[in-house]
Amino acid sequence: MFESKVYVNRRRALTEGMAMRLSGDKGIAVFVGNVDAAMNYRGNDYKFRQDSNFMYFWGIDEPWFAAVLDLDSGAECLYGNDVDIDDIVWMGPQPSVASKGEAIGCPSTAPLAEFDKAIAAAVAAGRPVHFLPPARYYNVMKLAYLTGISTDAVRKVAPMAEDCGRHASLELVKSVVALRLIKEQCEIDELDKAAEIGYLMHTEARRGCKPGVLEQEIVGRMEGITLSKGWGTSFTTILSQNGETLHNHSHHQIITPGRLLVVDAGAQSNSYYASDFTRTYPCSGKFTTKQREIYDIVEQANELAYSLTKPGTSYWEVHLATVRYMLDQLKSLDFVRGDVDEMVACGISGLFMPHGLGHNMGMDVHDMEDLGENYVGYDDDQKRSPLLGLGNLRMARRLVPGHVVTDEPGIYFIPALIEQWKRDGTDKGFVNYAKLAEYYDFGGIRLEDDILITADGARRLGPHRLPIKSADIEAIMANE
């Protein structure tokens, strides 16, 4: 938890942001914290993770809290229940809700039942009730129940005037996104911490990448580190010799000489800030010529993207410059033939990299993804592309200081996708399938860093950068 003034300032900025977007009776903004999420039965729960938006504005890292911010009067109230003797036996003595309110600069607190009444009163009075589309099913049910709308409508984001506000609030989404996209110094400190834990996780992975080791062994050791130093992982670890499968979560294979190991993993600090790194290692400790050729393209693409990342440039442009570079290099290796600019325009890079260059990152590894990818990652005048790859770009905005993005180019050889393009003629004649046929067992390569946009450029997060040059990787692996 940060100092109380951090939360006070955020709520004040939110109220101001809403005032700019609304007129007349602005209504109330409602925040529902997470409850415990059952793993296999109620009471045997996954490790508690607070809702990111609740955490951002209200800073309370416990289940069964809610809050209301009155956008007209400025009044605010934190709702939660004090503990009884049974709770003390099982969970130990707990600070009062009142003292928790003090700690976040919200002296007005009340029991949770009063929250339901406050919403009912606002609904009865016809006041606008602003809420964000919730991630969790319980919160969907709760908001549907409190506001009298359907669970589907709770997830729908639209301007408040539309359908008499029987949905999540676009104005609140935009106000929250505007704040959370620009990281404060206290957040940057947490992101640097998460990056350092990620560095330690990945160092363990690289050391564990030895022929004969079960992938799951390495994953466990990596995740143990992030549980020792922070909250845990920021997303389910990807560690696979089938790197061509972008989100591969099975870890039952043995590390095999000659293959490549893609490791895409990150940590959450104890305050829930994320890191997200990818490295790709040669399982033998040395790259083959084929592997090194592709690896070096991806490594240079990662570097190029970093060099282009600065205030004023859009990440859309950085994505396009990066895939242009990769296509140019793939052309020199005879994977593709023809005019590179035309290829970029036709989205040919999507065959090799069917994902975007990166995404926003903060308290969520894909920051605020539940608020709507386009609201988070696109400026109002930017439109999402229909092309594979560019269309998957989660962050396209013009960069400003305080943005945090990932830089994660990759090249994959995905047999099912190649066969589909060949069948459908999606490649428009640019692709040399004869050459690709030799790469069906190649796998994939992805290299990812986390970048903070600064006043005059950018810096990679964390005190240490994971080794990335192919020669450095080989030299280090030879000695580990």
Least Cα distance to 355 among 407, 431, 416 occurs for 407
Instruction: Say if strands 44-45 and 28-32 run parallel, antiparallel, or are unpaired.
Output: unpaired
Residue 39 touching its own copies (CB under 8 A): yes
Which one of residues 106, 172, 219, 451 is an interface residue with its own copies (CB under 8 A)? 219
The reply on whether position 103 binds its own copies by CB under 8 A is: no
SS (H, E, C) 192-218: HHHHHHHHHHHHHHHHHCCCCCEHHHH
Task: Give the Cα separation of 480 and 471 in Å (integer).
Answer: 15
**In the complex, minimum distance from the CB of residue 227 to its own copies, in angstroms, rounded to a whole number:** 4
Q: Does 361 bind its own copies (CB under 8 A)?
A: no
Q: What is the pairing mode between strands 109-110 and 76-79? A: parallel
* CA separation for the pair 82, 115 (Å, rounded): 14
Q: Find the helix packing angle between 215-229 and 185-208, rounded to 10°.
A: 150
Please, what is the angle between helix 470-478 and helix 185-208, to 10°?
A: 60
Q: Determine if 382 is a binding residue for its own copies (CB under 8 A).
A: no
CA 299 to chain centre: 22
155, two tokens = 């997830």
Q: Which is nearer to its own copies, 145 or 471 (CB)?
A: 145
Q: Using the rule CB under 8 A, which residue among 159, 220, 338, 402 binds its own copies?
A: 220
Nearest partner of 295 among 255, 341, 262, 337, judged by Cα: 262
Which part of the chain contacts its own copies (CB under 8 A), choosing from 97-105, 243-251, 314-322, 339-347? 243-251
- Contact status, residue 448 vs residue 276, Cβ threshold 8 Å: yes
Instruction: Candidates 44, 73, 289, 479: give the one binding its own copies (CB under 8 A).
Output: 44
Looking at 22-30, 214-222, 284-292, 466-474, which segment touches its own copies (CB under 8 A)? 214-222
Q: Which stretch binds its own copies (CB under 8 A): 68-76, 91-99, 433-441, 449-457?
A: 91-99
- C-alpha 63/C-alpha 77 separation (Å) is 16
Exactly one of 37, 112, 123, 158 binds its own copies (CB under 8 A); which one?
37
How many Cα atoms within 13 Å fall on the side-chain side of residue 30? 30
Which pairing describes strands 260-265 and 277-282: parallel, antiparallel, or unpaired?
antiparallel
Binding of residue 38 to its own copies (CB under 8 A): yes
Minimum CB–partner distance for residue 389 and its own copies (Å): 11
Q: Which of 229, 259, 319, 397 binds its own copies (CB under 8 A)?
A: 229
Q: How far, in Å, are 10, 11, 112, 173, 195 from residue 179 at the CA level?
A: 8, 10, 27, 10, 22
Angstrom distance (rounded) from CA 154 to CA 140: 6
Place of tokens 């994902």: 355
235 lies in the binding site for its own copies (CB under 8 A)? yes
Instruction: Report if residue 321 touches its own copies, rule: CB under 8 A.
Output: no
- Tell which one of 23, 24, 90, 124 touches its own copies (CB under 8 A): 90
DSSP-derived 3-state class of residue 244 = coil
Q: Which residue number, 272 or 281, has a Cβ lying nearer to its own copies?
A: 272
Only one of the segments 114-122, 179-187, 227-235, 460-468 lies at the binding site for its own copies (rule: CB under 8 A); that segment is 227-235
Beta carbon nearer to its own copies, 299 or 370:
370
DSSP state of 315: H
- Interface residue with its own copies among 73, 91, 425, 463 (CB under 8 A) is 91
Residues 1-20 that bind its own copies (CB under 8 A): none
Question: x/- site string to its own copies, residues 151 to 190, per CB under 8 A?
Answer: x---------------------------------------
**Candidate ranges 3-11, 107-115, 131-139, 313-321; the one touching its own copies (CB under 8 A):** 131-139
Q: 3-class SS at 174?
A: helix
Among 1, 227, 308, 321, binds its own copies (CB under 8 A): 227
- Between 93 and 425, whose beta carbon lies closer to its own copies? 93
Verify binding: residue 116, its own copies, rule CB under 8 A.
no
SS3 assignment, position 388: coil
The residue written with tokens 């529902």 in the block is 32
- Report if residue 59 touches its own copies, rule: CB under 8 A: no
In the region spanning residues 289 to 308, those forming contacts with its own copies, defined by CB under 8 A, are none
Closest distance to its own copies from the beta carbon of 432 (Å): 21
CA torsion through residues 370, 352, 465, 321, sign: negative
368 binds its own copies (CB under 8 A): yes
Could you give the CA distance from residue 456 to residue 30 in angstroms, rounded to a whole number? 37
- Per CB under 8 A, does 137 bind its own copies? yes
Q: Which of 13, 178, 321, 417 binds its own copies (CB under 8 A)?
A: 417
Contact 9, 163 (CB under 8 A): no
* Residues lying near its own copies in the complex (CB under 8 A): 37-47, 49, 51-52, 85, 88-93, 135-138, 141, 151, 216-229, 235-236, 242, 245-248, 272, 354, 363-366, 368-370, 414, 416-417, 420
